Chains A and B, each alone.
Chain A
Amino acid sequence: MNEKQINRLAGIGLLVIAFGLPLVVRSATYLHIVVLLYFYAYLTTSWNLVGGFAGVLPLGHAAFVGIGAYTSTILSLQYGISPWLGMLVGGVIATIVGVLIGLPTFKMRGAYFALATIAFAEGIRVIVENVDYIGPLKVNGPRGLQIPPLETGLVNYMFASKEPYYYIILVMLLLVLFLTWFISRSKLGYYLNAGGEEPEAAMALGINVARAKLIAMAMSSFLTALAGTFYAQFSLYIHPKSIISLDLSFEIAFIALIGGRGSIAGPILGALLLRPVGDFSRIYFGDTLPGMHLIIFGLVLILVMHYQPRGLQEPLTRLYKSLVARLIGKTTGGGQEHGIARS
């Protein structure tokens, strides 16, 4: 057996596990937790197109989640338009907003960019909280929108059990993973990486860095908005404070950084660690020691960064490679590359 075959086998194994999970995990609670885990992995992967490849740190992606959720929900509540269609409309609107955000902010560097995206997202939240109607559309300001139970089924994007949601988000996640993998190996991926690391040098090599970043931003905001619709249909309630929140924006970015920024597996690894830590610590301590779960969450963030400042992906890849090497009985040389990572 050679390395390629092992990789393929491992991939198929993971897929089988992912698709078979609901057959084993019967508890709706745990399935709920896993659905949200995938949801975050999906968001982070979409985020990665900008935050990972383009080398900037957006901290306002919750705005796109909000745009997606609000668009499809308003269209479905007021005009009976299927959320599936609304999802695409939301994606398009988010893309436009994303590009509008990108135009001024991509001129900024480092911390300025990060903080400017926070301001953008917060600005959108404040606007949503302040308007009850946009023309005929009922946004309902700070009171949020509730989706009343409709007939369940694929068309209404509403189901009685968790399993359909599970498979929808799983497929979405796989698609977006494939897309990022594909992009990372394409001209756009090279251009984004180069432009993110040394913009001046990249320009001299024929790269319109701003345009490459805008393309990435457009794709990222489109994909992120799709998940917004999913979230709205899954939780049946959207509220500006929770869906366009800093918490959500931060968590997306943190999952990426904890998992390994700019890598394909990073978002999944990050979500696999952070989501359960968040959920289970709240379950165990939420009632007896209020706040304890956030202390634990904070500690985990700090500890991971202390021991793996580049994220979990690096050591785990190494581990996997050495496992594979042992399997095929070949000793791989150390030869670990060292280098200056970008900030």
Chain B
Amino acid sequence: ENVKIGNIIPLSGPSATVGQQGKNAREMAIEEINAAGGIKSLGGAKLELVFADSESKPEKGVAEAERLINTEKVNVLTGCWNSAVTYPTTAVAERYGIPFVVPVSVSDKITDQGFKTVFRIAAKDSWWTRDQFSFLKDMQEEFGTKVEKIAFVYENGDWGKGFAGQWKELAEKGGYQVVLDEPYPSTATDLSPVVQKIKRSRADVLMLVSNAADAILLTNTLAEYKVNLKAIIASGGGHADPSFLKAAGKSAQYLFDIVEWETDVNKPGAKEANEKYNAKYGQNLTGEAVDAYVAMYVLKDALERAASLDPAKIREALAATNLSDGPGMIVGYDSIKFDATGQNENASLVMVQVNDTGKGLERITIWPKSARRAGYTPVFPMPEK
């Protein structure tokens, strides 16, 4: 008997690019797992993926969760990338007692609901923001440049609002002056008014939360208006989208982006996995894709230990996860382990900088210093325009 894994991701609609990546990564993982003999404790049972399209719409996610559980009879669920979709959808899984692995969806509240069945592999937004601020602090020390004024600009949604809330607290604690706090609609067709506000705020550092289309538009417009900033710190998502670098091109140079994983991570197997992925799908793995990829290995590990398809058993096994090596463990940190809320307590983040070291623009890991690509010196502050 096969193990059915239901996956709810945005395959059409505005986030279809990342949905597609997540699908690819999952497929690559289970191919490997099945080729290696499936779940041995279940007599070599194979993993089988069932995908459902959320279109990035919460109500569709909820409906699909109902269906995957009731009709497809999936044993576990994963998804949904958009926090706004993941949040209500996990509630459905909780009601039915079906384990739900969230590879990436960062809103804190997903694991703060007291649910028993939810396990998140990615870091949550309070950690992302915490690390963004630690990074900022470290950079100031390393390069001796002082940052005083910060501007917050973020998509007006669950994700952006979540980040902005945390930022405000952190900025206050860190003694920074917040000169701009600006949500914008992700559907904007012209972002120059927002860019003007950034420019006029005379901020030193700009912190962003953006989806893909707006990330590209913002980056280009910032370059057009020659907004002088010491740094732009983005929050993954749109800035980590595979089309971002291509579409933004030169304007994206020197941008900092926080991610879970980067191709240059120093981890056995990572390079091979990326090459394999690139050969298969013509793109590099991204942090978010890696989370999806690893999620499959986390599930495999839990299923081996559960040796049963009983959701309660799988849930228990997931809760006891401590995955530190083996194929597929290509994340930047040492092991995956869930705390009482289901949050992967080891999840860690890295900061990358977009720059051209002679091979065209690429994403280069620079922080924490221990993970920095050998021989690369980050550019901070950004050169004046």
A residues touching B (Cβ–Cβ < 8 Å)? 27-30, 32, 36, 129-130, 141-144, 146, 148-149, 160, 235-237, 239, 241-243, 247, 279, 282-283, 286-288, 290-291, 293-294
Contacts A149-B95, A286-B11, A291-B12 known; A142 to B157 CB distance under 8 Å?
yes
Q: How far apart are B61's CB and chain A's nearest CB, in angstroms? A: 9
Within 8 Å of chain A (Cβ to Cβ): is B189?
no
Most A C-beta atoms less than 10 A away, residue of B51, B84, B113, B185: B84
Is B62 within 8 A of A237, CB to CB? yes
CA distance A290 to B53 in the complex (A): 7
Q: How far apart are A23's CB and chain B's nearest CB, in angstroms? A: 17
Interface pairs A-B: 7 shortest CB-CB: A287-B51, A237-B88, A286-B53, A290-B11, A29-B71, A29-B70, A28-B70
17 other A-B residue contacts (CB within 8 Å) besides A129-B156, A143-B162, A239-B58: A27-B70, A29-B71, A30-B71, A36-B63, A142-B157, A142-B158, A144-B58, A148-B113, A237-B62, A237-B88, A241-B57, A279-B63, A286-B11, A287-B50, A287-B51, A287-B52, A291-B11
Is B58 within 8 A of A237, CB to CB? yes
Q: How far apart are A230's CB and chain B's nearest CB, in angstroms? A: 14
What is the interface of chain A mostly: helix, strand, loop, or mixed? helix
CA distance A148 to B95 in the complex (A): 11
Within 8 Å of chain A (Cβ to Cβ): is B161?
yes
CA distance A60 to B158 in the complex (A): 24
Within 8 Å of chain A (Cβ to Cβ): is B66?
yes
Is B66 within 8 A of A32, CB to CB? yes
CA distance A325 to B69 in the complex (A): 46
The residue on A at minimum CB distance from B83 is: A143
Contacts A142-B157, A283-B67 known; A290 to B84 CB distance under 8 Å?
no
User: Hey, which chain A residues are within 8 Å of B51, CB to CB?
Assistant: 286-288
User: Hey, which chain A residues are within 8 Å of B185, CB to CB?
Assistant: 129
CA distance A242 to B84 in the complex (A): 10
Within 8 Å of chain A (Cβ to Cβ): is B75?
no
Is A237 within 8 A of B91, CB to CB? yes
Is A242 within 8 A of B53, CB to CB? no
Contact of B53 among A29, A32, A243, A282 (CB under 8 A): A282
What does the 1/0 interface line of B70-84 toward A look like (CB < 8 Å)? 110000000000001
Within 8 Å of chain A (Cβ to Cβ): is B247?
no
Is B161 within 8 A of A143, CB to CB? yes
Taking residues whose C-beta sits less than 8 angstroms from the other chain, chain B's interface range is 20 to 34
Q: How far apart are A112's CB and chain B's nearest CB, in angstroms? A: 24
User: Hey, which chain B residues are within 8 Å of A144, CB to CB?
Assistant: 58, 84, 87-88, 158
Q: How far apart are B21's CB and chain A's nearest CB, in angstroms? A: 13
Within 8 Å of chain A (Cβ to Cβ): is B59?
yes
Within 8 Å of chain A (Cβ to Cβ): is B147?
no
User: Hey, which chain B residues are within 8 Å of A279, CB to CB?
Assistant: 63
User: Hey, which chain A residues are within 8 Å of B84, CB to CB?
Assistant: 143-144, 239, 241
User: Hey, which chain B residues are within 8 Å of A148, CB to CB?
Assistant: 113
Contact of B88 among A32, A149, A235 (CB under 8 A): A235
The residue on B at minimum CB distance from A36 is: B63
The residue on A at minimum CB distance from B66 is: A32
User: Hey, which chain B residues are within 8 Å of A286, CB to CB?
Assistant: 11, 51-53, 64
A-B contact pairs, 24 of them (CB 8 A): A28-B69, A29-B67, A129-B156, A129-B185, A146-B88, A148-B113, A149-B91, A236-B88, A236-B91, A239-B58, A239-B84, A241-B58, A241-B84, A242-B58, A243-B59, A282-B53, A286-B51, A286-B52, A286-B53, A286-B64, A287-B11, A290-B12, A290-B16, A290-B53
Q: Mark out the residues of chain B between 24 and 70 whose CB falls within 8 Å of any chain A CB in the assembled complex.
A: 50-53, 57-60, 62-64, 66-67, 69-70
User: Hey, which chain B residues are within 8 Å of A141, CB to CB?
Assistant: 156, 161
Most A C-beta atoms less than 10 A away, residue of B11, B20, B94, B156: B11
User: Hey, which chain B residues are within 8 Å of A160, CB to CB?
Assistant: 95
CA distance A81 to B71 in the complex (A): 35
Is A142 within 8 A of B156, CB to CB? yes
User: Hey, which chain A residues are within 8 Å of B60, CB to CB?
Assistant: 282
Contacts A29-B70, A32-B67 known; A143 to B59 CB distance under 8 Å?
no
Contact of B87 among A146, A235, A293 (CB under 8 A): A146
User: Hey, which chain B residues are within 8 Å of A32, CB to CB?
Assistant: 63, 66-67, 70
CA distance A62 to B71 in the complex (A): 29
Most B C-beta atoms less than 10 A away, residue of A237, A241, A291: A237
CA distance A71 to B114 in the complex (A): 26
Contacts A239-B84, A286-B53, A291-B12 known; A143 to B20 CB distance under 8 Å?
no
User: Hey, which chain B residues are within 8 Å of A29, CB to CB?
Assistant: 66-67, 70-71
The residue on B at minimum CB distance from A287 is: B51
Most B C-beta atoms less than 10 A away, residue of A29, A36, A291: A29
The residue on B at minimum CB distance from A31 is: B70
What does the 1/0 interface line of B289-305 toward A look like (CB < 8 Å)? 00000000000000000
User: Hey, which chain A residues are within 8 Å of B16, CB to CB?
Assistant: 290-291
Is B62 within 8 A of A235, CB to CB? yes
The residue on B at minimum CB distance from A143 is: B158
User: Hey, which chain B residues are within 8 Å of A247, CB to CB?
Assistant: 57
Q: How far apart are A119's CB and chain B's nearest CB, in angstroms? A: 15
Q: How far apart are B102's CB and chain A's nearest CB, in angstroms? A: 16
